[in-house]
A and B are shown apart, each in its own frame.
Chain A
Amino acid sequence: MSEVAGRRHQISLPQWATLPVVVGGFIVMAWIIIGLTVPLWAPYDPTMLAGRRFVPPGAEHWLGTDALGRDVFTRTLYGVRHSLPIAAAVIASAVVIGCTLGAIAGFVGGIVDEAIMRLVDVTLSFPAILLAMAVTAALGPGLANAAIAMIIVWWPIYARLMRAQVLAVREREHVEAAIASGATPSRVLFKHILPLCWSPIIVNATMDFGQVILLAASLSFIGLGAVPPTPEWGQMISDGALHFYRWWIAAGPGIAILTIVLGFNFLGDGLRDYLDPRSP
């Protein structure tokens, strides 16, 4: 017993709990908690005037006030209430649409595969921001329309991923074995192929969370996403850009975007190491 106690204490973490996962998970969790609870403890109202205009950061206003006298810190915290739900909705829809079409393409093959994959090629051949801009411009500005645009931009990525996974998994011998024991095609697909396809989808979806938040902010920045006075990060940075020497107006949302994107990237990277041992 004494020998054990004498040794250096070793904390045994679960296998998935690597440093990036812990750091990334912590950042993301923190933002989620902020998003859920901020109305309970925020110092000011995000859309109401909180003081004089252009107050620099200080004890009263931690990140200063903007051109209308609203508290930048409060608005930054409230911003996550727009960014995260939008990202979640976009990723969820893109995964559902993309994976369904990708699985159909990979499993059915032939002309169906060709049709779906050419549509994917066409969609992916547009630069993402340009396509999103064009769609939002056509639908009219607003966060909901921006979300629709981003779904249109994102689903082909998941269609491709899913198709590649299905093609790889269907060649495995246990699939052949299932067919040889008399399984129907739908059973083969749902029981023996799809359950083995999820890990890259999960990893990619986590990483894309950050990317979607970035693109949403970009659309808002150019005036195609959130409309004022919504406290949306891209929109706030766009405000800040008008008053370039009042650096604090853009600093809050900038740091927010930086941390949340970084958090999701860390989380995604760590998940990939855990779920997909083949990749470096």
Chain B
Amino acid sequence: MREPLLEVRDLKVAFRSHGRAEFQAVCGINLDVERGQMHAVVGESGSGKSVTMLAIMGLLSPSARVSGSVRLEGEELIGKPERAMRRIRGARIGYIFQDPMSALNPLLTIGDQIAEAIRLHDRKITRRSAQERAVELLRLVAIPMAEQRALQYPHEFSGGMRQRVVIAMSMANEPSLLIADEPTTALDVTIQAQIMELLERLRAEKGVGIVLVTHDLGVVAGAASAVTIMYAGRVVEQGSVDEVFAWPRHPYTRGLLGSLPHPGRPKPRLDAIPGAPPPITMRPSGCAFHPRCAFAVERCLTEIPPLRSVGPSLSACHRAEELPPLTSAMEAANADR
């Protein structure tokens, strides 16, 4: 097998809060991304998705304790000095932020902003050719009248257009990996589809590996090939999108899929997962999902289920084998395409 583009092994992140106990935000996760693959990471707020991404970029505050291994093209990133990380950020890993309205410097023109991202990693490039490259990047992300638009300021752009600019910036140095942290959450549904189309095109044309952080399963079904479901800092299920959606091997995944609307088969109410994700200060014993789980048994209260192979996917549920396949959810998610 080829060496994966990104290989995360047993990544743990803990935060120490003012002399009190340490809180484990991410409790040992594994994640592989191939070149030209879109890997979706799904979970509710507080499940550790964003912390994981920031840990990969080395952007967590010094108070965070990070352990485990993050390899980019075989190169270990954890413990790398800050100077070396700066050369990787933006050059080999692009990062797309959630809110395009605030991710751009309001006092710099779009062209200057993209040119700056280029010049950060290419000291020798002239101002002029950096500007030309910026215009080229605006064309790559399908912004019409790129020359004129490059001279405008962020406030002259709509949300969807700004997200295109952010994506153009993240692609400025042709990184091999893009991390997109909920790139469509702040946008209208129609614009969401356009942005996802753009990411999909970049993946196919440029062969960039993409980690897509989202909580929108419709987006996952439409765009990603692999999916990782996170809950309370752990991976609860991991596998190919087709397998996981057809036969989810974890009650949490089933809950997420069950809470999607099913077109053509109207229901008075959607099935919601009862309760809320536990705060980091009071994670339940055993399986963190057991208080909300309809399948929970005695064993789930005491024993943390390890992530193990169940069929073609990986699942962290003691009763994974007892869960039947699901058909309607896949149909529902497919209908979102």
Contact = CB atoms under 8 A, between A and B. Distances in A.
Interface of A: 172-174, 176-184, 187, 191-192, 195-196
Interface stretch (B113-121, B200-208, B238-246, B276-284): B113-121
B252 interface: no
B103 A174 contact: yes
Contacts of A184: 86
Interface of B: 57, 59, 86-91, 94-95, 97-99, 102-108, 116-117, 120-121, 166, 169-170, 172
A173 B94 CA distance: 15
A179 B107 contact: no
Contacts of B108: 191
A221 B87 CA distance: 61
Pick the most buried of A172, A180, A184, A195: most chain B CB atoms within 10 A of its CB.
Answer: A180
A182 B97 contact: no
Contacts of B106: 174, 196
Contacts of A177: 95, 97, 103-104, 166, 169
Contacts of B99: 173
Contacts of A195: 105, 107
A184 B121 CA distance: 11
Pick the most buried of A174, A179, A192, A195: most chain B CB atoms within 10 A of its CB.
Answer: A174
B91 A178 contact: no
A180 B59 contact: yes
16 contacts: A172-B102, A173-B103, A174-B103, A176-B97, A176-B103, A177-B169, A178-B105, A181-B94, A182-B86, A182-B88, A182-B89, A183-B86, A183-B120, A184-B86, A195-B107, A196-B105
Nearest to B108: A191
Pick the most buried of A173, A176, A191: most chain B CB atoms within 10 A of its CB.
Answer: A173
A181 B90 contact: yes
Contacts of B91: 182
Contacts of B121: 182
A82 B130 CA distance: 50
A102 B333 CA distance: 52
B107 A181 contact: no
Interface of chain A: mostly helix, strand, loop or mixed:
helix
Contacts of B95: 177, 180-181
B61 to A, nearest CB: 11
Contacts of B120: 181-183, 187
**6 residue pairs, one from A and one from B, having the closest CB atoms:** A181-B90, A182-B90, A180-B95, A173-B102, A182-B89, A177-B103
B169 A181 contact: yes
A85 B42 CA distance: 63
A34 B153 CA distance: 41
B79 to A, nearest CB: 18
A191 B107 CA distance: 9
A180 B120 CA distance: 11
Nearest to B101: A173
A180 B60 CA distance: 11
A191 B112 CA distance: 11
Pick the most buried of A172, A178, A183, A184: most chain B CB atoms within 10 A of its CB.
Answer: A178
B88 A179 contact: no
Contact of B102 (A174, A181, A182, A187): A174
B284 to A, nearest CB: 32
A139 B116 CA distance: 49
A205 to B, nearest CB: 20
A176 B117 CA distance: 13
Pick the most buried of A181, A182, A192, A195: most chain B CB atoms within 10 A of its CB.
Answer: A181
Contacts of A179: 59, 89
Nearest to B170: A181
A174 to B, nearest CB: 5
Contacts of A191: 105, 108, 116
A195 to B, nearest CB: 5
Contact of B89 (A172, A173, A181, A196): A181
Nearest to B172: A181
A158 to B, nearest CB: 21
A230 B94 CA distance: 65
B85 to A, nearest CB: 8
Nearest to A172: B102
A176 to B, nearest CB: 7
Contacts of A176: 59, 97, 103
Given A182-B121, A191-B108, 17 more contacts: A173-B102, A174-B102, A176-B59, A177-B97, A177-B169, A180-B89, A180-B95, A181-B95, A182-B90, A182-B91, A182-B120, A183-B86, A191-B105, A192-B105, A195-B105, A195-B107, A196-B106
